[in-house]
Structure 1
Amino acid sequence: MWVEDWSSKAACKDSSPDQLFVRGAEQNKAKQLCNGCSVRTECLAEALDNQIEWGVWGGMTERERRALLRRRPGASWRTVLESAREDHARTGVQSLQL
């Protein structure tokens, strides 16, 4: 099920934004905060659909998100990620080919 008000449930909700808007090796620390977050997919879809250029969102850096956007220009990432999540829940197999 897709969570519309995902930001209130995010693992980073009580973190300083400065922890998520970092460069270099510090990005790996920021990405760890996303591990196990229950709304990671919603966060990532938000960043991809709105082409947010800075920070770690949904466990991905801006460079990683740009690579996805180049592979699927014009995609509705909410639709892509929601469908992949549903397929995974139903079959237990990751079906998203990025």
Structure 2
Amino acid sequence: MGVRPISQSGDNDMWVEDWALRAACRETAKPDELFVRGAEQNQAKQVCQGCPVRTECLAEALDNQIEWGVWGGMTERERRALVRRHPSASWRKILETARTRAQTASA
């Protein structure tokens, strides 16, 4: 358990199932710092930059329609806009596919 390959190419691309244990915010932020309002959200989003599990975190928030806080580098307003446009989407599947395509294109 933990991670599973998302591509058949044999490279190290993985979807992390236990992503919360690997999140940058786990080490660098207090939980309250990610649940702020207004301009403070931009600072909170900085914690997500370079996070190794940013995609997994974002998929979790989108698929579960989490309404509060910064998740995967997006505010609740930004996430709501995505969900409104695609209310029945599987965000994990969409983000897995996008990651695989981006990595394939850059290889």
The normalised TM-score by structure 1 is 0.92
1:28 alignment partner AA: N
Pick one of 23, 26, 37 that aligns with 1:13: 26
> What RMSD over aligned residues (CA atoms) do the two structures have, in Å?
1.1
1:81 alignment partner AA: L
> Which entry has the higher C-alpha Rg, 1 or 2?
2
Unaligned runs of at least 5 residues, structure 2: 1-13
Unaligned runs of at least 5 residues, structure 1: 93-98
Cα distance in 2 for partners of 1:35, 1:9 equals 14
TM-superposition CA deviations, 1:6-30 (whole Å, max 9, x none): 0010000132111000000100000
The normalised TM-score by structure 2 is 0.84
TM-superposition CA deviations, 1:13-51 (whole Å, max 9, x none): 132111000000100000000000010000000000000
SS in 2 for 1:2: strand
Cα distance in 2 for partners of 1:25, 1:73 equals 27
Identity %: 73
List, as ranges, runs of 4+ consecutive aligned residues in structure 1 with deviation greater than 2 Å.
Answer: none
Which residue of structure 2 aligns with residue 50 of structure 1?
Answer: 64
**TM-fit CA distance, 1:70:** 0.9
